[in-house]
Amino acid sequence: MSTQTVKKVALAYSGGLDTSVILQWLRETYGCEVVTFTADLGQGEELEPARAKATAMGIQEIYIDDLKEEFVRDFVFPMFRANTIYEGEYLLGTSIARPLIAKRLIEIVNETGCDAICHGATGKGNDQVRFELGAYALKPDIKIIAPWREWELSSRETLLAYAEKHNIPIEMKRGKGSPYSMDANLLHISYEGGILEDPWAEPEEDMWRWSVSPEAAPDQATYVVLGYEQGDIVSIDGERLTPAQVLAQLNQLGGANGIGRLDIVENRYVGMKSRGAYETPGGTIMLKAHRAIESLTLDREVAHLKDELMPRYASLIYNGYWWSPERLMLQQMIDASQAKVNGEVRVKLYKGNVSVVGRQSASDSLFDMNIATFEDDKGAYNQKDAEGFIKLNALRMRIAAKKGAKFA
């Protein structure tokens, strides 16, 4: 695990200013070849400009991959099977994309004979951890270059000067003129920095990009029926869709109805609190609806065990441990729990609200109207059983109370 010489580097390349500067800085600093990798994760940007720019900068090996289906199928959906939510609020939109990028980078390393990877994440954030833990797990001797932790180009001004000096085309890529640091993929768009650094300040309306405000959303509710198979959505209003299609359509529906905005202070893995704003229109619908289909089809104790393990599973993803044995172990349990999570959920979308208004499962409902009813159940349930149930559950406390324990 010692320091190696670097001959060829696979760079996670967005085509923006930062990673273009990094591209040049890598060649200058290490005298190495660079392979660029740009992923389409549904961030909603043209990727061909990235290709053009890389070509213009003399790159020979350029990878531009559409990973949208893999992203949703193998990362987003498995995560939602666990009703995953970090710190009670955050749907992990950025966190869940990083392990896929790490995996693809390492594949490219293996295909092209690189000896190092490079990314543009800063030394203060979570993304560096996510990229690097993934890379190390998948290729333990990989050399990782994180320019933001190394170089002197620590301000925007020095970056711009460096770009000018090296004829790197500048187009204010980062945030496209926005004061915010942003990240987007099919699951969400995130905002950090700018006035968000004051946690008392309300985000300005024009910051949000993926959703209308609840105020601006239609006055008429939209009803949608989501079809589930083994915990994943496979259809919307009866139309069978691929995973990425599902999420894209839910984003459209959610965004149009003002759904999925979030404004939080969160705890980064590297130890500080940070303020972030997120838009996750489709994911917000998915979380709510998944809980609803589970409420009908999942055993109580299985559901409760999932709930108790969820915060840890969420932290694993947030902290970058997607490619770890403990995440894999938890995933096996989570996936196993979803075998009977089949059926339909009907949701109402209205001005920021996602309301579940119906759930059914022809094959796997555990809801038994005959037993639950307040009406005559024709002997399906013997109410007298409850007496013994309560008495034995109370026994340890009765014994303790008789021995003098005070519970109030």
Residues of each annotated binding site for ATP: 12-20, 39, 120
* Contact (CB, 8 A) for 347 and 228: no
Q: What is the Cα–Cα distance from 326 to 75, expressed in whole angstroms? A: 16
Shortest distance in whole angstroms from residue 176 CB to a copy of itself: 16
Q: By CB under 8 A, what part of segment 47-76 binds a copy of itself?
A: none
Site string for a copy of itself, 146-175 (x = CB under 8 A): x-xxx---xx--------------------
User: Any catalytic annotation for residue 27?
Assistant: no
Q: Which of 12, 129, 224, 289 binds a copy of itself (CB under 8 A)?
A: 129
Nearest to a copy of itself of 56, 305 (CB atom): 305
Please count the CA atoms within 13 angstroms of the CA of 76 that sit on its side-chain side.
32
Q: What is the Cα–Cα distance from 295 to 300, expressed in whole angstroms? A: 8
User: Any catalytic annotation for residue 335?
Assistant: no
* Contact (CB, 8 A) for 116 and 10: yes
The strand pairing partners of 247, in sequence order, are none
Would you list which residues are annotated within the binding site? 12-20, 39, 90, 95, 120, 122, 126-127, 130, 181, 190, 266, 278
* Residue 120, φ and ψ in degrees, nearest 5: -105, 20
Shortest distance in whole angstroms from residue 52 CB to a copy of itself: 28
* Contact (CB, 8 A) for 188 and 43: no
DSSP designation for 213:
-
Residue 346, SS3 per DSSP:
strand
Which of these is catalytic: 51, 81, 98, 275? 98
User: Any catalytic annotation for residue 98?
Assistant: yes
Which of these is catalytic: 40, 51, 81, 127? 127
Q: By CB under 8 A, what part of segment 267-306 binds a copy of itself?
A: 267-268, 270-275, 291-292, 295-296, 299-305
Which of these is catalytic: 27, 65, 115, 181? 181
Q: By CB under 8 A, what part of segment 178-237 binds a copy of itself?
A: 181, 192-193, 197-203, 214-215, 219, 221
Nearest to a copy of itself of 95, 337 (CB atom): 337
Q: What is the Cα–Cα distance from 5 to 3, expressed in whole angstroms? A: 7
* Contact (CB, 8 A) for 262 and 208: no
Q: By CB under 8 A, what part of segment 317-356 binds a copy of itself?
A: 321, 323-326, 328-330, 332-333, 336-337, 340, 346, 348, 350-353, 355-356
User: Any catalytic annotation for residue 232?
Assistant: no
Site string for a copy of itself, 249-268 (x = CB under 8 A): ------------x-xxxxxx
List the structure tokens of 106. Answer: 């390492």
What is the full DSSP assignment across 38-101? EEESS-S--SHHHHHHHHHTT-SEEEEEE-HHHHIIIIIHHHHHTT--BTTTB--TTTTTHHHH
Shortest distance in whole angstroms from residue 382 CB to a copy of itself: 7
List the structure tokens of 83. Answer: 């009703």
Q: By CB under 8 A, what part of segment 17-46 binds a copy of itself?
A: none
The residues carrying an active-site annotation are 18, 98, 127, 181
